[in-house]
Structure 1
Amino acid sequence: MSAGKFSLYLDLIRWNRPAGWLLLLWPSLAALWIAAHGFPGWHLVAVFTLGTILMRSAGCCVNDVADRDFDRHVKRTAQRPVTTGAVSVREALVLGAVLALLAFVLVLTTNAVAIAWSFAALAIALVYPYAKRFVSMPQAVLGVAFSFGIPMAFAAVQSRVPLVAWVLLLGNLFWVIAYDTEYAMVDRDDDIRIGMKTSAITLGRADVPVIMACYAAYLVIWGAVLAGRIPAAVLAITLAVAGGQAAWHYTLIRRRERESCFRAFRVNHWLAFTVFAGIVAGYAMV
């Protein structure tokens, strides 16, 4: 493989833009800590960290193949390797399959319950790229896909997926809708022109209020789950810092300017990292 082709593959999987896999990683690691009532062990931390990077990269391959005819009409995506033809559809799908297979090999080192749930996670990841054609709020579908590391974490730790895992998934889904609507606001004009369905288009002028309501729902639900599990003072500080970040996001998106909305999306992983850090600190003090 030439250096140029390898560089194109790295571009395809967004290697230089880690925000995407960090959005997946922090809720998954947080769920591991909650499921294990503290540090879950280096094996599971490594499996979920590497698996997150691999599956997000595989998802980029599938997404770019599915959207290649739309992406050429959107300013932000017109130069993606599959869209320009620099990487063929076959190459992208083969790369995506290899990355997904490597992620599955990691899952095989856990247990039968986690392995079984991994097939559901894969199915949802494959469905999402096509949801934008048929669903008025495809961000909700992405929310399930980007939150599925949570039940996977509980399955890997406890060999079961209890109700609390689905409650956390629901809370995380609200967060995904918030940040991905910010993302959709960046491309709203282009998406309207090409007939793509997004939450930013569906919500119209209600986009900013709904985003803020989703941030609130995320923090309330996760806060309710964590109450009693970690010290109240740690939880209060964690929610205050995370809430402050959400308030800052309001100042970025309230005018609906493209660059400010994109900035809000790019830094969203810090909000989930704040929650994760609070969980780690809280369980360390129990």
Structure 2
Amino acid sequence: MEFLQLRSRLGDYFKLMRLDKPIGILLLLWPTLWGVWLSAEGRPEWPVVLVFILGTILMRSAGCVINDFADRDFDRHVERTAQRPLTAGRVTTREALWLFAILSALAFLLVLALGRPLVIWMSLPALLLAASYPFTKRFFAIPQAYLGIAFGFGIPMAYAAHLDTVPPVAWILLLANVFWAVAYDTEYAMVDRNDDLKIGIRTSAITFGRFDVAAVMACYAATLALLAGVGVYLKLGGVYFFALLLAAGIMGWHYTLIRERERVACFKAFLNNNYVGLVIFVGIVLDYLLVRQ
């Protein structure tokens, strides 16, 4: 009986960290890996790669925990989130805060292991961004932009890890990620728009109103334009730009999914952003392997 209770509790922690739904980890991982590879000109230090992958998993998990802590009273009024472990009472708020603290501490230990002072200092605002994002939905008209900064902060940290400095191109990459995050998280917010209106949560889908689809496509366009500018600045080759073209094709397909604002289709578009990030990452890797040899 005790074993079954422990197994059930660990399962609730697993779900609280959203490890059963890895899409969030992937959307955080891809831009981080863009930064890791570009900052090292295609030859990253493998300890840095490992630290950033593990750090991504830990901080995404910590972010989900603190998000559910912040939204515990709101989530019970939303059909899709009503049975989350914290909202349903299977995990206490005290347990959630301890879990957030442990995950954050483990991520910080990984950063310490790199021994790069600038990265260590940058981990502090990274933690602040992750911890504060859930509360921005109370007063920011477009909290998805804040999410984009939080999800993309691994980019300047990757440059700091490899170069001990953060050049302007890193911030341009971060800005590209902000536009991308606004696009895909608006698709996500379109799923819950009616519930969010009832409970008073602010989202980009509500702020953009009837222009939500146009705003998503404009943000996709800005993402591609900034990434193309990065490619020109870094003198990347045709493989990279072909990857951007493929990513544009996926984004165009998303228009066909979200234009009717149907919940299932919008959620499908959100999930498929994983392939946008993946295609761009593969383009970066192959460009350095095939063109820069």
Q: Take 1:120 and 1:268, find their aligned partners in 2: how far apart are those partners?
A: 26
Aligned twin of 2:62: 58
Aligned twin of 2:100: 96
Q: Take 1:159 and 1:135, find their aligned partners in 2: how far apart are those partners?
A: 33
> What RMSD over aligned residues (CA atoms) do the two structures have, in Å?
1.0
Residues 49-82 of structure 1, C-alpha deviation per residue, up to 9 Å, x if partnerless?
0000000000111000000000000011000000
Q: Take 2:233 and 2:74, find their aligned partners in 1: how far apart are those partners?
A: 48
Q: Take 1:235 and 1:52, find their aligned partners in 2: how far apart are those partners?
A: 24
Cα deviation, residue 41, structure 1: 2.1
Matching of residue 239 in structure 1 with residue 244 in structure 2: yes
Aligned twin of 1:248: 253
Q: Take 1:184 and 1:232, find their aligned partners in 2: how far apart are those partners?
A: 36
Q: Take 2:233 and 2:49, find their aligned partners in 1: how far apart are those partners?
A: 24
Cα deviation, residue 237, structure 1: 1.2
Name the TM-score, length of structure 2 as normaliser.
0.96
Give yes or no for contact 1:186–1:259 (8 Å, CA) kept in 2. Answer: yes
Name the TM-score, length of structure 1 as normaliser.
0.98
Give yes or no for contact 2:29–2:53 (8 Å, CA) kept in 1. Answer: yes
Q: Take 1:260 and 1:240, find their aligned partners in 2: how far apart are those partners?
A: 23
Aligned twin of 1:16: 20
Q: Take 1:213 and 1:142, find their aligned partners in 2: how far apart are those partners?
A: 18
Matching of residue 207 in structure 1 with residue 202 in structure 2: no
Q: Take 2:232 and 2:154, find their aligned partners in 1: how far apart are those partners?
A: 22
Matching of residue 7 in structure 1 with residue 11 in structure 2: yes
Cα deviation, residue 230, structure 1: 5.3
Percent identity between the aligned chains?
55
Q: Unpaired segments of 5 or more residues in structure 2?
A: none
> Pick from 65, 78, 81: which aligns with 2:82?
78
Residues 24-50 of structure 1, C-alpha deviation per residue, up to 9 Å, x if partnerless?
001111111111111202111110000
Q: Unpaired segments of 5 or more residues in structure 1?
A: none
Aligned twin of 1:156: 161
Structure 1 residues 99 and 79, CA gap change in structure 2 (3 angstroms): same
Give the secondary structure class of the aligned counterpart of 2:152: coil
Residues 221-251 of structure 1, C-alpha deviation per residue, up to 9 Å, x if partnerless?
0111112635532123111100000001111
The 5 A counterparts of 1:1-286 are 2-110=6-114, 111-227=116-232, 229=234, 231-285=236-290, 286=292
Q: Take 1:33 and 1:10, find their aligned partners in 2: how far apart are those partners?
A: 30
Cα deviation, residue 269, structure 1: 1.3
